[in-house]
Amino acid sequence: MTGSQDASLADLDDPGLYINRELSQLAFIRRVLAVAESGATPLLERLRFLCITASVLDEFYEIRVAGLKQQILHGWHSRRPDGIPARELQRLISCESKEIVLRQYSLLNDVLIPALAKEEICILRRPEWNEDQKAWLKDYFDREIYPILTPQSLDPAHPFPRVVNKILNFYIQLDGKDGFGRAISSAVLHAPRSLPRVIRLPEEVSTHADDFVFLSSIIHEFVGELFPGMRIRGCHQYRVTRNSDLLVEDEEAEDLRLALEGELLARNWGSAVRLECADLTPGEVSTFLLSKFQLEKEDLFVVKGPVNLSRLSTIPDLVDRADLVFPTFHPGVPKALLGHGDLFEVLREQDLLLHHPYQSFLPFVEWVQQAARDPQVLLIKQTLYRTEKNSPLIEALIQAARAGKEVTVVIELRARFDEQTNIDLAERLQEAGAYVSYGIVGYKAHAKMTLIVRKEGDLLKRYVHLGTGNYHSSNAKSYSDFGLMTADTRICGDVHKVFQQLTSLGKPRKLKALLQSPFTLHESLLAFIDKETENALEGKPARILAKVNALSENRIMKALYRASQAGVEVRLIVRGICCLRPGIPGISENIEVRSIVGRFLEHHRVYYFENAGAPRLYCSSADWMDRNLLRRVETCFPIQGKKQFRRVFWEGLDVYLEDEELAWILDADGMYAQRPVQSGTSSQDRLLEALAEE
């Protein structure tokens, strides 16, 4: 480290240099909401993006706000680089979240619903039902809804019930006496999750091409059927969001799977963190509900419409309107695979780089399926962080295990909100005879690796896949990720060592090509950044380009500030959270931060270091966050060979740095803004044109 770097260290502890993580995450939600608000986005996709913002905000409250409330409750003092006190942060989050929610419902009610109606896609409110529709809905209520509803009056024998996380509920105000002669003034009702939140009317009663009705509207209209002889004074929908972070002490649990299964049962009953009520809910009702959930007024969100916007995501799937969604495309296939049925033969000749979703995920799936059938394949090892329940990869691994091959799967049981799916997959694999490991105590196994060992003549040959994204066929259609398939002996040997470490828990062995968290990746990144700083001070070419989902690790940010001070050009593509402030005179004026938000979720991680004309280029499963670099098992792999280097540099970095359509630029005040469109063609469109089939 140079003397000038030492001199700048004290300045770099100033809280004013850092953006709060939670507020940065809310800024990302606003950028996604802007896609929904944009008239350039196809209409049904605008509704889909609106639903995404609602779902992401739910998770933000379940995890981040819940954790913040726990800190305040217990008096914990978290050391945040931004220095914002916890209570002040809670206030800021509440204000900004309510502004987001106001925009969400304004967009739904004032823009999307009228625009959909013009396209004969109508969400019918109760006053809009005609007699035929009302009769059909009454019959639907009697057949499909009424039999599974359980209203509960509120009286000394029936205290206020526990309310499940994020479920639709109703507070009902009553007049009259029940069948036992008791005067009842209120009751509550929950809508079972088995009920669809949006119901499509059949053609015989529809007045438009596609007519829909909210479940909440149907229950509101016919709720009197549940209380015969009583008068309904009011029916008000509400929803409570609870702390959903799982509290499992890895080192104290004798069996991590059993401990997680027990904790999953309690997820629906964590402490309340947010209450949503419909806008016509009387003040005394919302105050009563706040008291029951032990919440403050700032935790109340008053909404004009359904209390769970994310459930509207079914509408685009129920409507057949190709003109109102993004154009379809067929993912491309590398030319090297055309006419070749044996993927092992191809990999013996060359590496394969797959870029999803522009290129198909199927070649990788077919490779694992081929390995499961191939009698020469002796061993398959794979990490699984997230995958779908009916994954073709799981079926291939089960087939391989039943065929007597050595199959090892490292499943991360603690992949948030996928815990139950991963537990179920682990059971299926074990029943088939596969060896299942749950990773490392205290460290999530987030690396994406597959190793196949094949007997070829007298030799054992290793093949590897390394990726930046999960082994999830559905996500591969909408998440941008790189996957490298190779028989390179150095990389294959390293992957073998990492798998050995994950299952045998021996000390980390020295790797020849890969960088690995939590052992070498963090320190290597710091060394690479510092080398660029040193080169800039010596007048040598110096540049850092990186694409990540999030940037919040303090030492990395400080190293980037020092690089900027030395004159290094630093250009960062950070999709979501970014705690670094670019453009600060004397600190970060040489740093640009941009976020790309578009049709596909930008997910790959790519790092480039100029290295005085001998550039280094890596792909990784790791973001530049504390958890990825210090508390997870991650892999980072070099891109070798001129062809692959050119591809990853352009497809993973350069095309995004040239994008003036989807890019949001972060300024020193922590605000994002879009520049006027100059190119007219987005990075994602250019990649579709270059890689997808016509």
Provide the CB-side half-sphere exposure for 673 (13 A, CA): 7
Number of folded domains in the chain?
3
Q: How far apart are CA 246 and CA 263, in angstroms?
A: 6
In a domain, 190, yes or no: yes
The residue written with tokens 């995890």 in the block is 63
Cα radius of gyration rounded to whole Å, the chain: 27
Looking at the predicted structure, is the pLDDT value of residue 694 above 70?
no
- Would you say the C-alpha torsion 151, 152, 153, 154 has a positive or negative sign? negative
Q: Which two tokens stand for residue 643?
A: 């062809």
In a domain, 168, yes or no: yes
Looking at the predicted structure, is the pLDDT value of residue 131 above 90?
yes
Residues facing 609 on adjacent strands = 544, 616
The residue written with tokens 């066929």 in the block is 473
Same domain, 506 and 545: no
Q: What is the pLDDT of residue 551?
A: 98
In a domain, 12, yes or no: no
Same domain, 496 and 525: no
In a domain, 4, yes or no: no
Q: What is the pLDDT of residue 687?
A: 97
Q: How far apart are CA 361 and CA 691, in angstroms?
A: 13
Q: What is the pLDDT of residue 2?
A: 40
Lowest-confidence range among 214-218, 317-321, 675-679?
Answer: 675-679
Q: What is the pLDDT of residue 426?
A: 86
In a domain, 280, yes or no: yes
Lowest-confidence range among 24-28, 160-164, 604-608, 689-693?
Answer: 160-164
Confidence class for position 75, pLDDT limits 50, 70, 90: confident
Looking at the predicted structure, is the pLDDT value of residue 104 above 80?
yes
- Considering 293, 324, 355, which residue would you say is the last residue of a domain? 324
Mean pLDDT, rounded, for 7-11: 54
Helices (H) and strands (E) in the chain, counts: 22, 27
Residue with the bigger pLDDT between 428 and 238: it is: 238
Q: In what order do the strands lie in the sheet containing 121-123?
A: 121-123, 210-214, 198-200
Q: Give tens-digit pLDDT for 552-574.
A: 999 999 999 999 999 999 999 99
Q: Which two tokens stand for residue 14?
A: 């100033």
Mean pLDDT, rounded, for 300-304: 96
Q: What is the CATH number of the domain that holds 161?
A: 3.30.1840.10
Same domain, 304 and 344: no
Q: Give tens-digit pLDDT for 273-291.
A: 999 999 999 999 999 999 9
C-alpha distance across the termini of the chain, in Å:
51
Contact in structure between 480 and 597 (CB atoms under 8 Å)? no
Same domain, 310 and 383: no
The residue written with tokens 């578009």 in the block is 598
Same domain, 506 and 524: no
Of all residues in the chain, what percent carry a pLDDT higher than 70? 93
Same domain, 317 and 340: no
- Considering 324, 353, 372, which residue would you say is the last residue of a domain? 324
Give catalytic status of residue 465 as yes or no.
no
Q: How far apart are CA 498 and CA 466, in angstroms?
A: 12
State which residues form the domain around 276. 21-324
Same domain, 448 and 536: no
Q: What is the pLDDT of residue 207?
A: 95
Q: What is the pLDDT of residue 519?
A: 94
In a domain, 329, yes or no: no
Q: How far apart are CA 637 and CA 618, in angstroms?
A: 5
Q: What is the pLDDT of residue 9?
A: 47
Looking at the predicted structure, is the pLDDT value of residue 127 above 90?
yes
Q: Which residue type is seen at 635?
A: T
Q: Give tens-digit pLDDT for 333-369.
A: 998 898 777 999 999 999 999 999 999 999 999 999 9
587 secondary structure, DSSP code: T
Of all residues in the chain, what percent carry a pLDDT higher than 90? 79
CA 684 to chain centre: 19
Same domain, 551 and 608: yes
pTM recorded for the entire structure: 0.92
Looking at the predicted structure, is the pLDDT value of residue 406 above 50?
yes
Q: Which two tokens stand for residue 356?
A: 């999803």
Q: What is the pLDDT of residue 252?
A: 41
Same domain, 161 and 188: yes
Q: What is the pLDDT of residue 265?
A: 57
Catalytic residue among 236, 446, 522, 604: 446
In a domain, 251, yes or no: yes
Q: What is the pLDDT of residue 262?
A: 52
Q: What is the CATH number of the domain that holds 363?
A: 3.30.870.10
Q: Give tens-digit pLDDT for 241-276.
A: 998 875 544 444 445 555 545 555 555 668 999 999
Q: Which two tokens stand for residue 267?
A: 């997820």
Q: Give tens-digit pLDDT for 41-67.
A: 999 999 999 999 999 999 999 989 999
Same domain, 118 and 238: yes
Confidence class for position 415, pLDDT limits 50, 70, 90: low
The whole-chain average pLDDT of the chain stands at 91
Mutual orientation of helices 419-432 and 256-266 as an angle, nearest 10°? 140
Q: What is the pLDDT of residue 341?
A: 78
Looking at the predicted structure, is the pLDDT value of residue 10 above 60?
no
Residue partners of 2: CB distance under 8 A and separation at least 6: 533, 534, 537
- Considering 479, 510, 541, which residue would you say is the last residue of a domain? 510
Q: How far apart are CA 171 and CA 236, in angstroms?
A: 5
Q: What is the pLDDT of residue 264?
A: 53
Contact in structure between 104 and 53 (CB atoms under 8 Å)? yes
In a domain, 15, yes or no: no
Same domain, 506 and 523: no
Same domain, 320 and 341: no
Burial environment of residue 321 by CB neighbours within 10 A (0 to 12, 13 to 18, 19 or more): middle
Residue with the bigger pLDDT between 372 and 176: it is: 372
